[in-house]
Structure 1
């Protein structure tokens, strides 16, 4: 019986594990004679993002929730709202919470201009940051990947992602402090107002205003809503930040806060159990994060860039361009395989206001490949990504 000769070839999956850099390079730089476009090992174009989907209202015991899937990376976010009375805040003084009269509050509530709202609320940012009204926490200890064991303590990556989300929430001023305040309007006990007070027993002013501005009394902040934003990565296949931030965005858009008022007799905050009286958060814009990785054709480019003078490096790049040889690729939304081969990374957060693209935040680290022209192209790709994410979230 004739024996079969052993195969001397390796399947693509084995070659990808043994020579990951050469495997990805072979896909991105096909032979010129083949006339094939540059394509990644996962079948995507360099500027193409993974298929993204979102679903809101998935968790029943939260004020807002969302599940976002970007490729095989899945993030679940739940927002829980809890009351923080001002009496429990150290060194809290009513004098600096009554910075606006009821007339100003009503004008702010009825204003359609976002710039006017921000100008009339100087304590907006300080209240959220100083009082820690937004508390994000991201967990990777869910068995989402082989390196993250369920029940393990928070990893360095999880803590870093939590800090990134917190910084982005503060820098974008996504949540308005006005939505988190619980106001009380002290009654004016004079003449006609006294009779009205006795008839109603109690007078409250919620965030929507009740038309009781004529008394001229200063409104008091009796409590704040604290939003605990818990994110769990249940499946990790690269680029967890984009998925986590998209889940936070979707969950905050889904968040509803009960109508809260101050009970003078019992000196507590009372929340209405009527769903119809609950209100959504009035978020500022829609900042969308897009992450990128830079893949170098030269596997040693990371340390070579330090040794080779800049002029020599530029000469090699120009020579390769003349010969039609591409030395580096900017890969949008890198997966786990590409993240391990990317020597430089960048994250761009953009928003669109009145049809114009606004760069909210831009970070890059790990190299010198992304110059001004490359960053301009990255911003254009991020602007197109913003349109995709906006369309997905509006369908939730």
Structure 2
């Protein structure tokens, strides 16, 4: 009986599957995708199959949570964020510095602002929102959103940093108008009622007392990252935008008899927030072909040497750096320099692109030309995000 064992056994394969190669040599794995051999005729794509300036598939759904004034769920690829907005009333009697601030503002009422000058109103709005902390964002990373987040752990530095970024962007964009958060009270004209005269509210010299602010709405903006797969800030900010667009505040008024704030239970009386624009955040990272790029902070070539290296690379047709839009967790671990561009468009997208915020950190490879290109990519991303948020 003949043996089935071959006389010449096949040697084991020395190649590794892509998943193991990606774990053992992550930098080389991504570089092989971005810079394929010229003979292969393969396009330059990232390991996840996207082009360098392509964002992940994004979806948004508003009104997902109950017992909130507004909520939204935003998913960018495998990164998902849930945002809920809760509104609570803050009485001016509970503000220690309110009487002092009102006295100082009354002293300035004699100065009439010039026509079309809104600086004083802007300063007052900014002071109310920022000094009184009427917007309170808080971001948390849920247990199991990523392998490194275990139950019972203290809030991570990432969560605290993202919460600060959300608060800073809410203040710099002035997204929420202060007048939407004020609860007014119009005192009656007791002298007119005693004389039985019919007073016109809009007429000059009617003698009606000035309106008073009796309370404010405080918006607690809670964001939870339920799945973290890179670029959490874009997902968190998009969820905040969608939740604020979905937020409705009940009709509230001051009851002089009971000296308290009353709210209407009728949903039809609730009003949406009148937000200023639609600032969209787009994050990027810079991936360099040199695996030892991190050592450039120690050994820095002079200007002439660096210029000669760049000219040599251009002659050889070698690309040494790629700017990747919406990086995932794998790409974030391979890059040191990152950038974030926040843009808005005037006239509901029909006007010019306005740069709301621009920042970069971790290196000096991105120059002015690169940042201009990122603004163009962010402008196209704005059109896409507006369509998604309008449909949710």
Same fold per TM (> 0.5)? yes
1:337 is matched with which residue?
A: 330
For structure 2, the residue ranges without an aligned partner over 5 or more in a row are none
In the aligned structure 2, how far is the partner of 1:252 from the partner of 1:18?
Answer: 43
Contact 2:78–2:227 (Cα < 8 Å) also in 1? yes
Report if the CA contact (8 A) 1:141-1:154 is conserved.
no
The answer to whether structure 1 residue 22 and structure 2 residue 52 are counterparts is no
Give the corresponding residue for 1:258.
Answer: 250
In structure 2, what is the equivalent of residue 36 of structure 1? 42
Q: Give me the CA root mean square deviation.
A: 2.3
TM (norm. structure 2) is 0.90
Per-residue deviation at 1:116? Answer: 7.4
Is 1:362 the counterpart of 2:371? The answer is: no
Instruction: Compute the TM-score of the two structures, normalised by the length of structure 1.
Output: 0.89
SS at match of 1:334: coil
Alignment of 1:46 with 2:39, yes or no, is: no
**Aligned counterparts of 1:385 and 1:278: Cα–Cα separation in 2:** 32
Counterparts in 2 of 1:85 and 1:96: CA distance versus 1, 3 Å: farther
3-state SS of 1:123 partner: helix
Preserved CA contact (<8 Å) 1:256 1:281? yes
- Is 1:136 the counterpart of 2:137? The answer is yes
Contact 1:141–1:152 (CA<8 Å) still a contact in 2?
A: no
Residues 99 and 362 from structure 1, CA distance in 2 versus in 1: closer, same or farther, beyond 3 angstroms?
farther
SS at match of 1:191: helix
Q: Which residue of 1 aligns with 2:237?
A: 245
| Greater radius of gyration (CA) | 2
* Cα shift at 1:190: 2.2
Alignment partner of 1:76 out of 73, 82, 87: 82
**For each residue in 1:226-276, what CA deviation from the matched residue of structure 2 results, as whole angstroms up to 9, or x when unmatched?**
000000000000000000000000000000000000010111110111100
Cα shift at 1:351: 0.6
Q: Do the aligned residues in 1 keep the contact of 2:188 with 2:208 (CA within 8 Å)?
A: no
2:7 corresponds to 1:6: no
Deviation at residue 193 of structure 1 after TM alignment: 7.6
CA distance in 2, matches of 1:258, 1:196: 34
Instruction: State the distance in 2 between where 1:96 and 1:227 align.
Output: 26
Change (3 A) 1:194 1:77: farther
TM-aligned CA deviation for residue 323 of structure 1: 1.5
CA shift for structure 1 position 343: 1.6
Q: What's the CA shift for 1:12?
A: 0.3
CA contact (8 A) 1:81 1:225 kept: yes
Is it true that 1:299 corresponds to 2:299 in the alignment?
Answer: no
State the match for 2:319 in structure 1.
Answer: 326
Q: 1:192 deviation in Å? A: 4.8
Q: Deviations over 1:77-118 (max 9, x none)?
A: 0000000000000121144577999xx9xxxxxxxxxx9777
Q: Where do residues 1-396 of structure 1 align in structure 2 (5 Å cutoff)?
A: 1-2=4-5, 5-93=11-99, 94-95=102-103, 120-192=121-193, 215-304=207-296, 306-307=298-299, 308-354=301-347, 355-396=351-392
Matches of 2:296 and 2:279, distance apart in 1: 36
Residue number in structure 2 paired with 1:200: none
What is the CA-CA distance between 1:212 and the residue it aligns to?
9.5
What's the secondary structure of 1:41's corresponding residue? Answer: coil
Q: List gaps (5 residues or longer) in structure 1.
A: 105-114, 198-209
Q: Cα–Cα, structure 1 residues 34 and 61, in superposed 2: closer, same or farther, change >3 Å? A: same
Helix, strand or coil at the partner of 1:145: coil
**Conserved 8 A contact 1:292-1:345:** yes
Mapped partners of 1:119, 1:49: distance in 2: 41
